Amino acid sequence: MELCKHIASRNYKATFIIFSHLSSSIHSSFHENPLIEVVEVPCASPRPGLPVHKQAETYNELAQVLEAFLSSPHLQMPTCAVVNVFMLLGWTKKIFQRYGIPTVALFTSGACSPSMEYASWNAHPEDLGPGDVRLLRGLPHEMGLTQLNIKRRPFGPMLAKGTTTAPKPSENSGPFPRKMGPPGPGEKPDWVEDVEGAIGLVFNTFDDLEHPFLDYLANQFKKPAWGVGPLLPETYWKSDDGFLVTDGEVRGNGQSDITEDNVARWLDSKPRGSVLYISFGSTLSLTPEETSGLADALAESPWPFIWVVQPNSGGPTPGHFPNGMDDRVGDRGLIIAGWAPQLLILSHPSTGGFLSHCGWNSIIESILKGVPFLACPIRGDQYDNARWVAEHLKVGYKVCEDPSQFVKKSDFVKGIERLMADKDVKNRAMELQSRFGHSFPASSSAALDALLKGG
């Protein structure tokens, strides 16, 4: 949606195609832009455990909508199609090719993780021995590969401790089936074939932050790699320590048990830089054992905290902390069930650390507010993002060094205290924020202009 706004601001018409079960995410102001058209693809909510892009019936609905849209006699043929590479490009590129419409591969992530996946595939990490470090030509030295940092926990956030078998992909996985999860050591990333034929790659990042990775991908694929982000609401760039970002004004709110005003008042009552914000995104969660360990760690910790939990995730619920921690925590802890005003929380001066799964949106929003991380990756690009934050940018720590292990209470206890008590890591996070100012990056504006002018 934010990319559509940038395109429309340059006097181009943008057609935003979205599955109907996601349409509640669209803020009313988005519909009011005369240069933006919204086309919904009828789709029921995805079946539990099966992503929307793995459902054959969903692809059929999408194909019908695209065919009807592109074959309309009144349509001014699009200049290009910007398509999510991880979910839809493999599905749709043949349709766009049939109508002579070039495609641009959109990575909603940054450039670090795709770079690491591609470089690791070519570096044959499965051959690494104990103590070996394999540097990746064209990428920062601290992102070199070792046996430890190519490990992953068993796929799926809710696998019980000790489980090592990942769920199998569905038999009914659509016309472009993919295996579940990220590529394993030495495996070719699925998206490599999808971007073949695309005229360029677009990333939700900016050159000053990820220049080595954008440059690496451009050189490897012999096509432009544009950093056009961060794709954040305009109000984000206007905020400073005296101005909070109000999510409800710019984003379609999900269901929540608390208002933004109440969250802001709770934060106002806490000392500056003292609050640990805990969120694992909108779809992921820890195992029940990890959740219990985190609850115990928070009960023993002196730091105030906000803990966001998703419905049916096995986490705590408002007014009912797990392990009998209610009396020990009291007003020091705030549980938010469902949707949380993350932009507001990260922009509040009381927030001093972020225990995060290291999804890209969370990372970029936190970096630009100078909030350091305690990285707890669960799957996918989050492992590379965690290394990038902790080892390359040095604005956080990993909750444990072996990413294949489930996190213990002691890991949370040590990690929380290390992060929240470390003034140096907070200073580095603030310094990183100060380098990028409070305005949309000039390099991203230039990249958007280049994209719309065909490179």
Residue 222: is its pLDDT beyond 80?
A: yes
- Quote the pLDDT of residue 251: 56
Sheet holding 81-84, edge to edge: 81-84, 103-107, 200-203, 225-227
- Quote the pLDDT of residue 201: 97
Residue 313: is its pLDDT beyond 60?
A: no
List, in order of start, the domains of the chain with CATH numbers.
2-110+174-229+440-452 (3.40.50.2000), 238-436 (3.40.50.2000)
Listing DSSP states for 347-380 in one string gives HSTTEEEEEE---HHHHHHHHTTT--EEE---ST
How distant, in Å, are the alpha carbons of 209, 226, 230 from that of 438? Answer: 14, 21, 12
50: helix, strand or coil: coil
pLDDT tens for residues 13-61?
A: 999 999 888 888 888 888 999 999 999 988 755 555 555 555 667 778 8
* Average of per-residue pLDDT across 128-153: 85
Weakest mean pLDDT among 73-82, 147-156, 199-208, 394-403: 147-156
As to burial, measured by CB atoms within 10 angstroms (0-12 exposed, 13-18 middle, 19+ buried), residue 446 is: middle
Show the DSSP H helices in 239-300 as ranges.
Answer: 260-268, 288-300
As to burial, measured by CB atoms within 10 angstroms (0-12 exposed, 13-18 middle, 19+ buried), residue 192 is: middle
- Mean pLDDT, the chain, rounded, equals 84
Residue 325: is its pLDDT beyond 80?
A: no
pTM of the model: 0.87
Per this entry, what is the length of the chain? Answer: 455
**Better pLDDT: 237 or 69:** 69
- Quote the pLDDT of residue 167: 39
- Quote the pLDDT of residue 248: 61
Q: Which two tokens stand for residue 393?
A: 């940018």
pLDDT tens for residues 223-268?
A: 999 999 999 887 777 665 456 777 665 555 556 678 889 999 999 9
Residue 444: is its pLDDT beyond 50?
A: yes
pLDDT-based confidence at residue 149 (cuts at 50, 70, 90)? confident
Residue 410: is its pLDDT beyond 70?
A: yes
* Average of per-residue pLDDT across 151-177: 45
* Radius of gyration of the chain, Cα coordinates, nearest whole angstrom: 22
- Quote the pLDDT of residue 147: 79
Residue 424: is its pLDDT beyond 70?
A: yes
- Quote the pLDDT of residue 288: 85
How distant, in Å, are the alpha carbons of 42, 88, 190 from that of 54? Answer: 16, 10, 14
pLDDT-based confidence at residue 455 (cuts at 50, 70, 90)? low
**Better pLDDT: 122 or 412:** 412
* Average of per-residue pLDDT across 269-284: 91
Listing DSSP states for 158-213 in one string gives TPPTT--PPPPPPS---SS---SSS--TTPPPTHHHHHTT-SEEEESS-HHHHHHH
Residue 324: is its pLDDT beyond 70?
A: no
Find all residues with CB under 8 Å of 33, minimum gap 6, and list them.
4, 5, 8
* Average of per-residue pLDDT across 293-306: 93
- Quote the pLDDT of residue 245: 73
- Quote the pLDDT of residue 244: 72
Q: Are 15 and 78 in contact (CB under 8 A)?
A: yes
**Better pLDDT: 378 or 156:** 378
- Quote the pLDDT of residue 175: 43
Find all residues with CB under 8 Å of 262, minimum gap 6, and list them.
none
- Quote the pLDDT of residue 45: 57
217: helix, strand or coil: helix
How many alpha carbons fall within 13 Å on the CB side of residue 330?
3
- Quote the pLDDT of residue 236: 76
Residue 166: is its pLDDT beyond 90?
A: no
**Better pLDDT: 325 or 391:** 391
